[in-house]
Amino acid sequence: MKAPSFTALDQSGEKIALKDFLGKVVVLYFYPKDATPGCTQEACDFQESLAAFKKAGAVVIGVSKDSLESHLKFANKQGLRFSLLSDEDGKICEKYGVWQEKMLYGRKFMGIVRATFVIDQAGKIFKSFEKVKVKGHVNEVLEAVKACS
């Protein structure tokens, strides 16, 4: 399946479009909120493995509905050296089907379901990970990237 196209700004104000990465593997991961425990752990895990992803020919891009200012603060505090896209209007989340009903403490609400998509060099979804558990996830993604390369 062809990966839905998108264009958005990252934490440094740079315009990022999926089409700009044709010929590379893209790890596109969606997370609920900057600076929360699970999201911080996931981002730091991707950062720690960034060299391995680059060596495998992949770029890592995170997406949430947080503002550019929130992303910049989060990236600076955690030392993240990959793009965090701001999807404040939720269009990218909707295209990838990650904006869903969630439940927390018996309360239903809409939010981003943690998910990761490995997109191949031709712009097709090679593998998707849905309802992700943070622990060990980055290693699974790296294995998928290596299989895709």
| Active site residues per annotation | 39
Cβ proximity of 71 and 11 under 8 Å: yes
CA dihedral for 28, 44, 133, 65, sign (positive or negative): negative
Q: How far is CA 106 from CA 2, 39, 42, 58, 109, in A?
A: 36, 22, 25, 39, 10
Q: What's the distance, Cα to Cα, between the start and end of the chain in Å?
A: 17
- Alpha carbon distance 123, 88 (integer Å): 24
